Amino acid sequence: MASLTIRQLDERLKKLLRLRAARSGRSVEDEVRTILRAAADEDGGEAAEPISPPASKSPRRPAIAPGVKRVLLIVGGGIAAYKSLDLIRRLKERGIAVRCILTKAAEHFVTPLSAGALVGEKVFTDLFDPAGEFDVGHIRLARETDLIVVAPATADLMAKMAGGHANDLATAVLLATDARILLAPAMNPRMWSNKATQRNLAQLVADGVALVGPNEGEMAESGERGTGRMAEPLEIAAAAEKLLSAGAERPLAGKRLLVTSGPTHEPIDPVRYIANRSSGKQGHAIAAAAAAAGADVTLVSGPVNLPDPAGVTVIKVETAREMLQAVERALPVDVAIFAAAVADWRVANEGSQKIKKKAGQATPDLTLTENPDILSTIAHRKSQRPRLVIGFAAETENVAANAKDKLARKGCDWILANDVSPQTGIMGGDSNTIQLVTAKGIEPWPPQTKQDVAAMLIARIAAEIARS
């Protein structure tokens, strides 16, 4: 059969073909095939194939090769939006296919034309664009991606996400997606540190959203400095790549985590001991959440009435000294979380036999001596110090101030401070109210179950590891 080359057609025909193809959203070759099929059909040709329905008018995404990762970039309205154009290039350099949504506010900073030229296809802007909705639509945008990157993530976008709003294309897609979300926040430092933003951030992290930045530095506003600068495109691209390769559900795959949990029992004699009211619920929930996130977890636990979490190596100990030994043996690890309520003191003159109560004799004197501080010992190690050392501060007064002081004294990176006064019911209970204390400041978390605290902490750790 003779072959037909479009290049050999006359100019007028070529122009007409190009116009038809553009109108129907087909390639010129496809347009020719469609015309030929239709002609054959009109002729009643028995061998003719059915004509495919006309394509919609919006340009289609070029086919993506199998195995190529897809990022949907949502650009929010902030001065940092110009950096997102560079981010598109950085993602594409890494072989990642990029689609782009601009919010209405973003269009004040970058145009659909410039973003579209870089992604190489139509940029999406409207939730109620009939052509767009028929062709791709917000549900397809939400599903046909491996990762959504929001850069810049403005305070407003974060608030809408935390509240589950869906009143424009960007927020509707964010609500409809199952894909992992990476936020690159960018805003004025006061907006960033505002309690409302921090509350929204805590909610988003609890929801499993990953973070890159914000960084510290000069703001667009002259003379302003602080935390709020969007991470650089290279940092965002690297964080995106890590998330894409780590897999959405297992952000801690390949990482080793150590968790201590429960109380310690310090013997007075072979049958009596000093203990505390720790149930181990929080530590065990953290070990379970870390294992669910793909980490290789060692849980060193004092005596508790809890089942061993699934998929976790559990080492059972009684005393603080045994706990320290087991912790040191478990090194090296990437992250160590010290949730155990270790007894501060043990009995120095521990009886080797049961101390007898004898009529008329004085009560025995128990001399106490200090136990090793496991958290501080590990945080101050010169070698094999975990990348992230996290402690708890169970306080009954001045919670935040004591925790800040403890952060410095113990040499750890984060402290999860909680009020364990009897009226809070935290000790032994099922819920917890945490304030996360880091070198950057204090972040109050909402009251929630110990499982939710664990999930929020693990998401936070995963985000920290992804950016370091």
Catalytic center residues: 276
Q: Which of residues 208-227 bind ligand C5P (CB under 6 A)?
A: none
Rule CB under 6 A: say whether 338 interacts with ligand C5P: yes
Rule CB under 6 A: say whether 375 interacts with ligand C5P: yes
Rule CB under 6 A: say whether 300 interacts with ligand C5P: no
Question: CB-wise, 292 or 437, nearer to ligand C5P?
Answer: 437
- Nearest-approach distance from CB 340 to ligand C5P, in angstroms: 5
Helix (H, G, I), strand (E, B) or coil at 87: helix
- Nearest-approach distance from CB 378 to ligand C5P, in angstroms: 8
- Nearest-approach distance from CB 385 to ligand C5P, in angstroms: 14
Q: Binding-site residue total for ligand C5P (CB under 6 A)?
A: 14
Q: What beta strand segments (E) does 408-453 contain?
A: 414-419, 431-432, 434-438, 441-444, 448-449
Q: How far are the Cα atoms of 100, 328, 411, 450 from residue 375, in angstroms, in the given order?
A: 45, 11, 9, 21
Rule CB under 6 A: say whether 457 interacts with ligand C5P: no
Residues across the chain: 468
Question: CB-wise, 239 or 339, nearer to ligand C5P?
Answer: 339
Rule CB under 6 A: say whether 347 interacts with ligand C5P: no
Question: CB-wise, 292 or 340, nearer to ligand C5P?
Answer: 340
The answer to whether the CB of 138 falls within 8 A of the CB of 169 is yes
The answer to whether the CB of 99 falls within 8 A of the CB of 71 is yes
Please select the residue that binds ligand C5P; options are 393, 453, 455, 465, rule is CB under 6 A: 393
- Nearest-approach distance from CB 390 to ligand C5P, in angstroms: 8
Question: CB-wise, 84 or 282, nearer to ligand C5P?
Answer: 282
Name the one range near ligand C5P by CB under 6 A: 40-48, 229-237, 244-252, 385-393: 385-393
Rule CB under 6 A: say whether 342 interacts with ligand C5P: yes
- Nearest-approach distance from CB 464 to ligand C5P, in angstroms: 18
Please select the residue that binds ligand C5P; options are 158, 187, 320, 399, rule is CB under 6 A: 320
Rule CB under 6 A: say whether 392 interacts with ligand C5P: yes
Alpha-carbon gap, residue 452 to 289, rounded angstroms? 9
Question: CB-wise, 377 or 431, nearer to ligand C5P?
Answer: 377
The answer to whether the CB of 300 falls within 8 A of the CB of 317 is yes
Rule CB under 6 A: say whether 373 interacts with ligand C5P: yes
Nearest Cα to Cα of residue 111 among 154, 81, 73, 86: 81
Question: CB-wise, 91 or 342, nearer to ligand C5P?
Answer: 342
Rule CB under 6 A: say whether 192 interacts with ligand C5P: no
Rule CB under 6 A: say whether 374 interacts with ligand C5P: yes
The amino acid occupying position 375 is L
The answer to whether the CB of 240 falls within 8 A of the CB of 183 is no
Does an H or E element contain 300, and which? strand 296-301
Nearest Cα to Cα of residue 54 among 92, 23, 100: 23
Name the one range near ligand C5P by CB under 6 A: 114-122, 195-203, 301-309, 368-376: 368-376
- Nearest-approach distance from CB 412 to ligand C5P, in angstroms: 8
DSSP state of 59: P
- Nearest-approach distance from CB 174 to ligand C5P, in angstroms: 35
Rule CB under 6 A: say whether 340 interacts with ligand C5P: yes
Rule CB under 6 A: say whether 464 interacts with ligand C5P: no
Question: CB-wise, 58 or 371, nearer to ligand C5P?
Answer: 371
Nearest Cα to Cα of residue 189 among 407, 459, 460, 440: 440
Alpha-carbon gap, residue 245 to 285, rounded angstroms? 26
- Nearest-approach distance from CB 339 to ligand C5P, in angstroms: 6
Please select the residue that binds ligand C5P; options are 84, 171, 371, 451, rule is CB under 6 A: 371
Evaluated on CA atoms 416, 421, 427, 431, the torsion sign reads: negative
Does an H or E element contain 153, and which? strand 147-153
Residue 52 in tokens: 């495919």
Question: CB-wise, 202 or 339, nearer to ligand C5P?
Answer: 339
Question: CB-wise, 228 or 262, nearer to ligand C5P?
Answer: 262
Name the one range near ligand C5P by CB under 6 A: 18-26, 86-94, 388-396, 438-446: 388-396
The answer to whether the CB of 75 falls within 8 A of the CB of 101 is yes
Cross-strand bridge partners of residue 217: 226
Half-sphere exposure of 45 (CA within 13 A, CB side): 13
Alpha-carbon gap, residue 309 to 10, rounded angstroms? 74
- Nearest-approach distance from CB 280 to ligand C5P, in angstroms: 11
Q: How far are the Cα atoms of 71, 133, 232, 242, 248 from residue 99, in angstroms, in the given order?
A: 6, 15, 19, 19, 19
* Alpha helix segments (H runs only) across 254-395: 281-292, 320-330, 374-379
Nearest Cα to Cα of residue 391 among 340, 349, 442: 340
Residues that bind ligand C5P (CB under 6 A): 260, 320, 338-340, 342, 344, 371, 373-375, 391-393
